């Protein structure tokens, strides 16, 4: 029987990893064989950690960009859990699809929809194209809007261009999820500061 490919997506801080870890615990409780993977990042940390709920568990495999996930995961696994799935390549997302069809496992993936500049990650696009089930997670912004944007700040100033991936805490980068209205208010405030005060030309009042 085919397994299902599920994509749970949301902005940063929407408790995706907490849901992953709790769901994984429930699958184990039903005597399913589970496996947890995550992409290789700069920090090389094997732990999958949720800031919401203080939960943590080591990943079984850390996946490099050139790894073939289909070959790595044993067919005895019932449910494969994937954290930070947005960092996988479209080819690796297709390998997850093959796991559901050829090895019959359920693949539950968790990750971001878009980066700090509102552009989707290539791996996320592939999941939107082929996942059997899409589930959105979000929280409300302090203004009441839906937090769907990931704002990135360098030295406290919002960024709208630059590298797609910058690790929080390195190079003074910080992230905050916001609703679109609050996001664009900060972007516009930055643009106004950059262009400076409006100057009145002499000929306008002479």
Q: Please identify, using beta-carbon distances, which residue of 48 and 179 lies nearer to Zn ion.
A: 179
Does residue 11 bind Zn ion (CB under 5 A)? Answer: no
Residue 151 Cβ vs Zn ion, minimum distance, rounded to whole Å: 11
- The token pair at 84 is 């930070």
Q: Please identify, using beta-carbon distances, which residue of 164 and 174 lies nearer to Zn ion.
A: 174
Residue 14 Cβ vs Zn ion, minimum distance, rounded to whole Å: 14
Strand-strand pairing, 173-178 and 149-154: antiparallel
* Residues forming a β-bridge with 7: 109, 134
Residue 199 Cβ vs Zn ion, minimum distance, rounded to whole Å: 32
Q: How far is 197 from 131, CA to CA, in rounded Å?
A: 49
Show Cβ contacts of residue 35 under 8 Å, excluding neighbours closer than 6 positions: 60, 61, 73, 74, 77, 79, 80, 81
Strand-strand pairing, 79-82 and 34-39: parallel
Within positions 121 to 150, which residues make up the interface with Zn ion, using CB under 5 A? Answer: 141, 143, 145
Within positions 172 to 191, which residues make up the interface with Zn ion, using CB under 5 A? Answer: 179, 182
> Among all residues, which ones are annotated catalytic?
84
Nearest residue to the partner Zn ion, using Cβ: 141
Which residues in 17-50 are b (16+ Cβ under 10 Å) and which e?
Answer: bbbbbebbeebeeeeeebbbbbbeeeeeeeebeb
Q: Please identify, using beta-carbon distances, which residue of 136 and 181 lies nearer to Zn ion.
A: 181
Q: Please identify, using beta-carbon distances, which residue of 81 and 183 lies nearer to Zn ion.
A: 183
Residue 147 Cβ vs Zn ion, minimum distance, rounded to whole Å: 7
Point out which residues bind Zn ion (CB under 5 A).
141, 143, 145, 179, 182
């Amino acid at each position: 029987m085919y397994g299902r490919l599920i994509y749970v997506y949301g902005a940063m801080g929407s408790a995706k990893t907490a849901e992953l870890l709790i769901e994984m615990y429930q699958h184990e409780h039903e005597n399913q064989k589970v496996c947890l993977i995550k992409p290789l990042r700069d920090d090389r940390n094997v732990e999958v950690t949720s800031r919401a709920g203080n939960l943590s568990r080591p990943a079984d495999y850390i996946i490099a960009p050139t790894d073939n996930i289909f070959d790595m995961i044993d067919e005895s696994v019932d449910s494969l859990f994937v954290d930070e799935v947005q960092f996988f390549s479209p080819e690796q997302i297709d390998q997850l699809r093959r796991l559901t069809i050829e090895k019959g496992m359920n693949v539950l993936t968790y990750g971001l929809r878009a980066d700090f500049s509102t552009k989707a990650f290539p791996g996320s696009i592939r999941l939107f194209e082929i996942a059997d089930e899409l589930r959105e997670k979000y929280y409300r912004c302090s203004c009441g809007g839906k937090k769907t944007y990931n704002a990135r700040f360098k030295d406290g100033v919002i960024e709208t261009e630059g590298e797609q991936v910058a690790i929080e805490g390195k190079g003074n980068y910080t992230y905050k999820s916001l609703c679109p209205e609050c996001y664009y208010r900060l972007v516009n405030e930055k643009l106004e500061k950059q262009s400076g005060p409006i100057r009145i030309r002499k000929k306008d009042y002479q």
